[in-house]
Amino acid sequence: MHPPIEFWFEFGSNYSYLSLMRIEQAASRAGVPLRWKPFLLGPILRALGHQDSPFNEQKEKGDYVWRDMARRAAKYGLPFQRPSVFPRRAVLPMRVALLGADQPWMGEFCRRIMLQNWVHDCDIDHDGVVLAALDGLVIDPAAIVAQAGAEHTKALLRAQTEQARARGIFGAPSLIVDGELFWGDDRLDDALDYAQAGRP
């Protein structure tokens, strides 16, 4: 049995979009167990001294990133449209993802939310968008959304974000295999190779 790959991601993260749309199938092909780890990137960036996304704070980097996103999306055969709001608030769907992390509907839910943000330019922090993403995946979408708004769920997401920071995560997506950190969409294959090699 290969060690699992922990996938730390944020719906508002552009490079998380590229990895999330591919990771479930890629991990399955590699025979590597997948652990979904939603967390909030904003508090971590603020702790590191950023007031906004680094892609917004530095124009040259931002200009590069959007061209890079278009190139990489085309490489993977993924649709992509730069959203009108970046980074987009995603607290509600992140809480739902935390609740679904061990559920069979997790991957499809996350892909639906990502498409709403990175292709359809929708407000993914809106109840209606999240309910639509859950439609057909769970018996009672409204109950899941209500649970996502509970104080206990809010506290769990804060705790998971604090855990990400404690483990040295500084950006998204981040992948951890046996304590080894891989950062960025372009390190997904490296992380899977590491897991397959069974290195300590």
Place of tokens 């979009």: 17
φ, ψ of residue 153 to 5 degrees: the values are -70, -40
Angle between helices 14-30 and 106-118 (to 10 degrees): 150
How many structural domains are present in the chain? 1
Taking a C-beta distance cutoff of 8 angstroms, is the pair 10, 38 a contact?
A: yes
Cα 162 to Cα 49, 53, 100, 155, distances in angstroms: 16, 19, 19, 10
Residue 199 has pLDDT above 70, yes or no: no
Token duo for residue 138? 């769970």
Q: Residue 177's domain is classified under what CATH number? A: 3.40.30.10
pLDDT digit string (tens) for 155-180? 999 999 999 999 999 999 999 999 99
pLDDT digit string (tens) for 87-145? 999 999 999 999 999 999 999 999 999 999 999 999 999 999 999 999 999 999 999 99
Give the pLDDT score at 1.
83
Residue 148 has pLDDT above 70, yes or no: yes
Catalytic residues: 13
Q: Quick one: 121 exposed, middle or buried, by C-beta within 10 A (0-12, 13-18, 19+)?
A: middle
Expressed as residue numbers, the domain containing 43 is 5-197
Q: Which residues lie closer than 8 Å to 143 by C-beta, 6 or more apart? A: none
pTM here is: 0.95
Q: How much of the chain, in percent, has pLDDT values that exceed 90?
A: 90
Taking the C-alpha atoms of residue 113 and residue 126, their distance in angstroms, rounded to an integer, is 11
